[in-house]
Structure 1
Amino acid sequence: MIEQLLVSPDGLRVHLYYWAQDLGSVDGVTVCVPGIPNYPDKAYFKSLPEALRNQAFMVLYYYGYWLSAGTFSVQGTSQSIVDCVEAIRAGGFKDAFTDKQLVSFTGPLSLLSYSFGANPLARATTKLEASTIDSISFVAPLGLVNKTQLTTVNASVIDNFYSYNAQFTQFLARGYEKVIRLENKDELYQYFQGEHPDGLVEVGEGFAEKTTIYYGNKDKMVSRPLLEQFAALFSPQQLRTFEDIGHSKHLITKALLKE
């Protein structure tokens, strides 16, 4: 497997993983939009089945990602996705170490979000042309919360709604500023229904039919009502349940929460 750290003209960083002799011979590229703050690492891609090894995978590091103090915003995270897609199509990425320019890629391009990456990806579709994207996948979608809310909300509310513990809310509160304001469950539902005045979740024209939502039936971090509200933006037929995906695979680890 080839691993490269790439940088775009706008300063985006992505990790690229592929198995082909060169990027021009891959069958497709999937941009992985991570949860915040977790990222799939090299070991995750090394364990992919042979059937997926004709693909290339890019792990996107948002503008203001958590290692640079976590200055996230809805606009910033979604714009990261838009700029990444544009840089792929324009061949704008360079190897961060050799400064070698990548050739432009014209094959199928897919977008996949995990956990908190769902909202930035949904928002990004409003700025992209559906004809330029082959498919979109939301894996274990969760809503974003902001620092103010995390420091004032009763921890039991978070526990009951998200199945998070107080340790996770404290972890998020240390680094996040003005991501999204959420006052209560009803407001969160409004976001996912597209009814909130701030219009958090929007879906670009032509994208709904290209979208699939994947959910692990043992994933205790994703509440069923929240999942159904998100699925309502698309179609019930596009909500697929599996045994072994999502947070049940421990992509958010106890070790990370303690850092």
Structure 2
Amino acid sequence: MPLRILVFQHHSTSPAGLVGERMAARGAMVTTLDAQAGVAIPQDAGSHDGIVILGGAVSAYADDRCPHFPALLDLARRFADERRPVLGICLGAQLLARAWGAAVHLGGAHEFGLVPLRPTPAADADPLLAGMGGPVWAMQWHDDTFDLPRGATLLLTGETCRHQAFRVAEIVHGFQCHFETDRAAMLAWARLRHELYGLPDLTRAITAQVETVGAAAEMFGRRIADRWLDLVAAQRAARLGRQHGVGETENARVAEEIG
């Protein structure tokens, strides 16, 4: 049976991107919810193997515009308790920080473009970031940042925005950076930002970045996406193993078949 993934998309210009590409390549069953103006949590949400919470143009405290936020935070904590992986990107990471009691700071952390990030020493023991080396490059588009939740492990850090990736509750990952963007999306975002704010040199600057490090950023994004799906498959195999009383070797075989 293929993996079942529930995706919360909070803006039309911020889709699952490379994560969606890798889910499709691995035959996952993906349910994508258009959550830009709020959405009801599906009754079968708990039957999914993992959750992806994508970025958006609202703040992590915009419950008035996105009234599903409190229920989504509850769902993320429930998945963590059940050892079902949760992945948050940009706004998604800020929501996960909020879900685990950390403050989200609005404004003052502006970043746009491809930015070098440094893995922390703890990243070497993380299932998504082990062995990545550094620096790694990832696209950014945000103004907000967040404190690290109590008990969380910092995995990636940057100059402007220190908290770029973290893990909490063992199975929950939040990435401030947009590792899911491919090169076409990076250039499209530059054009959109130029249209929104009248920045004539932006497209040229981002194009130069994409030509230089865009391929490396894509490689990083695909590796993170594949490793997260590996984690989802392994956790589902472990749950099935606990239900049926099979051992770790059989769990590994099942995870490979699932993934």
* TM-score (norm. length: structure 2): 0.36
* TM-score (norm. length: structure 1): 0.36
